[in-house]
Amino acid sequence: MAVKTNKRGAEVTKPSSGAMPPVSDIVIRDLVQVFRLLSDETRLRILFYLVQNQELHVTDLCERLGQTQPAVSHHLALLRVSGLIEARREGKHNFYSVRTDVFGELLVSLFSGSDEVPKRIKFHDFTLTYNG
């Protein structure tokens, strides 16, 4: 395996033969789904708030986003169906959190509170390493 550094200082590992390692269709579909969801500002903010606070009630999210409960609930439903977040029911209230078993490492790395670029982001079998 050859290790090269791209323009931004991230290490890119490639097989010596120059061929890219095979990527499963499942990984591609999962990544497409994640990027579609992350392309919406409201959903991106929801994920950011959930990573920063570990768990939030829908009312907390409505106040932080300045949006109505039906609008926020719609975004939460999309994130929940995709498997990015999960709900915990307590009485009449739902509390939402990021599912760390699926995309949590990726999201926590991306939305960590520090101003630094994460040094390593792992998704399935792939790891992006940044030397900056």
CA dist 89 → 14, 30, 54, 59 (Å): 45, 27, 15, 14
pLDDT of residue 83: 85
Domain assignment present for 13: no
Domain assignment present for 79: yes
pLDDT tens string 61-118: 999 999 999 999 999 999 999 888 999 999 988 999 988 776 656 666 666 655 554 4
Domain assignment present for 64: yes
The SS3 call for residue 10 is strand
pLDDT tens string 8-47: 555 555 555 555 566 678 777 877 888 888 889 999 899 8
Indicate which CATH number applies to the domain containing 73. 1.10.10.10
pLDDT of residue 34: 80
Q: Is residue 79 within 8 Å of residue 47, measured between CB atoms?
A: yes
Q: How confident is the model at residue 4 (pLDDT cuts 50, 70, 90)?
A: low
Domain assignment present for 4: no
Domain assignment present for 16: no
Number of structural domains in the chain: 1
d(CA 49, CA 84): 13
> Is the per-residue pLDDT at 49 higher than 70?
yes
The better pLDDT of the pair 39, 1 is held by 39
CA dist 40 → 33, 53, 56 (Å): 12, 20, 19
How much is the pTM? 0.64
pLDDT of residue 64: 97
pLDDT tens string 114-128: 555 445 555 555 555
Domain assignment present for 6: no
Domain assignment present for 43: yes
Domain assignment present for 12: no
Range of the domain at 37: 24-130
